[in-house]
Structure 1
Amino acid sequence: MTQTNGKLAGKVALVTGASSGIGEATALALAEHGAAVALVARRKDRLDELAGKIQNMGGKVAVIVSDLAQAGQGAEVVKQAVEALGRLDIVVNNAGVMLLGPLSGGDPSDLTRMMNLNVTALMHLSQAALEVMKPQKSGHIVNISSVSGRGASPLSAGYSASKWAVGGFSEGLRQEAKADRIRVTVIEPGVVATELTDHITHTQTKDMYEGRIKDMEMLQSEDIAAAVVYAVTQPERVNVNELLIRPLDQG
């Protein structure tokens, strides 16, 4: 059941990558705390299913089908969210891909795909959100990065580069946006039990990665959703800059 008097009552949130995993869990958690939620992803059937759950909880929801890797989609989804729900208070930039593998002999299009979705789409959507939030003198942008944004391995060069970029962009955005009372948070999960490993096309890398994590008690999507809720429900004077979250087994 949504909380009509919850901490996020009257707020509107936009969540990308909402069709599964962290995005789905985050949308549900925000709705449970009273927010109206715009769901953004490519898979309409999954979004419709999630929208039904939120409506059954008594929540308000909008479904926006979009491939954010395509030029111009960031501004378009923000426009649609505001048209459907009236305003925009929270953005959770969660959509992303993890295409691990060696650089030597790798597919250059994997690097392009990661940078387009993990970085460029996030930046464009954040820019569009700023134009809505600045006149309000309030708002919160939450960027889902990764522990890989703090380090790299021989098979994660491209992915780590994309997540380092998210960190750098978020730091600059935070410093600029604070003048308009807009908060920016970066959340850096470790290993989470999601569909992310399904994206890996390099068979040896996928087998190696899955072998490394198979005995680990991984984070659940709800753990990251709880971190998002924590950040966005703090008093307006508080800006949670970063949250690094690892499974206990990951160290």
Structure 2
Amino acid sequence: MQNQIKDKVVVITGASSGIGKVIAKAMAKNGAKVVLGARRKNQMQTIVDEIRNNGGAGVFLETDVTKRTDVLDLVDLALKTYGYLDAIVNNAGISELSRMDELDVEGWDKMIDVNLKGVLYGMAAAIPIFKAQKEGHIVNIISTSGIKIVQMQAVYASTKNAVRTITEAFRQESDGTIRITGISPGFVKTGLVDEMENQEMKKVILKKMEQFAINPEAIANAVIYAISQPKDVEVGDIVIRPSAQN
């Protein structure tokens, strides 16, 4: 199925590291034309240089998904560069884990802005284009957080559950010309925790990641699988986690 993504134009947010970086490189390796968006310009330049040196096609734009105009500009770059948009992968996300009574309001705001509003801005940027084309594919990277409610993840899991709800609601509302897929990774070896401010929680998560986290290539393969399906087939929901994860 992987050859089915050849020449597809795919926008990927949060593409400077972790899952987004691996998705971009895997897509390009299989012939897709990738458009990377993230805040870290230097990292994206390195990724795009590597993609081009290996014969692939890619461009990038410094993008803050909490700013709707940035996301609109990212999608516009895809159109200006390649003339079309086949899919958008809303991958950008952050995690700030803490007890509710610690009142990390700043952390709550950041997660709502990036994890929820960032996804909505991505969808809002792509949907008008997909409607005009009468086809397109939205992939929202969610999380296993929220499928199982646990302590310390109240707001983080809430943002992910909100995206899960939005994804399923849009699937029901769509007439099938625009497909949508929600992919919920479990523990994955990424830098998601690097910017986590709660140092105690950071240690706990890092320990679990060392014990059984899976490689981000597994998530990239899931994205490729979903996008590779024929136009009359929609993969609505994928949960992919380490086999040892509870």
TM-score, scaled to structure 2: 0.95
Tell me the equivalent position of 2:142. Answer: 145
% identity of equivalent residues: 36
- Pick one of 113, 119, 124 that aligns with 1:116: 113
Relative to structure 1, the CA distance from residue 214 to residue 19 in structure 2 (aligned partners, 3 Å threshold; closer, same or farther) is closer
**Is the deviation greater in 180-189 or in 196-205?**
196-205
- Pick one of 241, 244, 251 that aligns with 2:239: 244
Superposition deviation, residue 85 in structure 1: 2.0
Q: 2-side partners of 1:80 and 1:45: how far apart?
A: 18
Q: 2-side partners of 1:24 and 1:116: how far apart?
A: 21
Is 1:50 the counterpart of 2:47? The answer is yes
Tell me the equivalent position of 2:192. Answer: 196
Write the deviation string for residues 85-129 of structure 1: whole angstroms up to 9, x where unpaired. Answer: 211101110000011111212320100100100011111111110
Does the CA contact (< 8 Å) of 2:5 and 2:224 recur in 1?
no
Write the deviation string for residues 22-71 of structure 1: whole angstroms up to 9, x where unpaired. Answer: 10110111112211110111111110110011111212111111111124
Does the CA contact (< 8 Å) of 2:65 and 2:121 recur in 1?
no
Q: 2-side partners of 1:83 and 1:137: how far apart?
A: 19
SS at match of 1:199: coil
Consecutive unaligned residues in structure 2, runs of 5 or more = none
- Pick one of 29, 32, 50 that aligns with 1:32: 29
Tell me the equivalent position of 2:220. Answer: 225
Tell me the equivalent position of 2:201. Answer: 205
Q: How does 1:72-111 map to 2 (within 5 A)?
A: 72-111=69-108
Superposition deviation, residue 174 in structure 1: 1.5
Q: 2-side partners of 1:152 and 1:80: how far apart?
A: 39
Q: Which amino acid aligns with 1:185?
A: T
Q: 1-side partners of 2:7 and 2:47: how far apart?
A: 20
Number of residue pairs the alignment of both structures matches: 245
Consecutive unaligned residues in structure 1, runs of 5 or more = none
Tell me the equivalent position of 1:9. Answer: 6
Write the deviation string for residues 9-28 of structure 1: whole angstroms up to 9, x where unpaired. Answer: 23100011111111011011
SS at match of 1:23: helix
Q: 1-side partners of 2:137 and 2:31: how far apart?
A: 16
Q: Which amino acid aligns with 1:236?
A: K
Q: 2-side partners of 1:209 and 1:62: how far apart?
A: 33
Does the CA contact (< 8 Å) of 2:4 and 2:228 recur in 1?
yes
Q: Which amino acid aligns with 1:239?
A: E
Superposition deviation, residue 82 in structure 1: 1.3
